[in-house]
Amino acid sequence: MKNKTVIVPIIIILGVLLIDQILKIWVKSHMMIGDEIHIFGDRVMLKFVENPGMAFGMEFGGNWGKLALSIFRILAVGGLIWYLVVLIKKKSNLFIISCISLIIAGAAGNLIDCAFYGLMFNESFGQVAQMFPDGGGYSGFLAGNVVDMFYCPIIRWGTPPDESIFFRPIFNVADSAITISVFLMIIFYKKLLPKGEEKTEPTETKAE
């Protein structure tokens, strides 16, 4: 397809954003903080938490840290979009274009939470949040929390309270998009190299 370097990133970004936001809004409007929906027993579940900081539930510097992180996300998304446009104009490898598109979608998805969810919803502690409540939201612009819900404690050993769990982070679709993109770029890094940059063995000249 002639314009696939334009169409593919648009589909990726809009598709990831749509799935991410539909799931977050459903969780926010149907579950309370701490609620769980078990999908595959105790190994894969939806567990509603709100993350005031970085990806995978990590926190960063309180309210000022949250504001700084939100501003950083805005700058990062803007910079990545600019870089994506440059790649598209150069008709670069579709693989790297797709990976950058996944990162943009993931960063933008979490940015939407930070920017607008505090205005759109009330608190989820002890109650299911309402969208656009009469009393207003739980925080201001760029002060909202990121909605996380995927919890996959794949390996457990020991017994409570001394139980150990492998992979405790709770994450969302946006986090997954960023992580998958980074892993793909690491695994298939050779595809990112311009053609002709593979190392060639030096040829030996025979003495006459």
Catalytic residue (choose from 20, 134, 148, 162)? 148
pLDDT, position 60: 57
Catalytic residue (choose from 20, 35, 113, 175)? 175
113 is catalytic: no
Block mean pLDDT (10 aa), the chain, length 208: 84 98 98 96 93 60 73 93 95 93 96 95 96 94 94 82 80 96 89 55 50
DSSP string, the chain: -TTHHHHHHHHHHHHHHHHHHHHHHHHHHH--TT-EEEEETTTEEEEEEEESSSGGG---SHHHHHHHHHHHHHHHHHHHHHHHHHHHHTT--HHHHHHHHHHHHHHHHHHHIIIIIHHHB---TTSPPPBS-TT--SS-TT-PPEEEEEE---EEES-TTS-EEE---EE-HHHHHHHHHHHHHHHTGGGGSPTT-S--PPPPPPP-
35 is catalytic: no
pLDDT, position 208: 46
In the chain, domain spans:
4-191
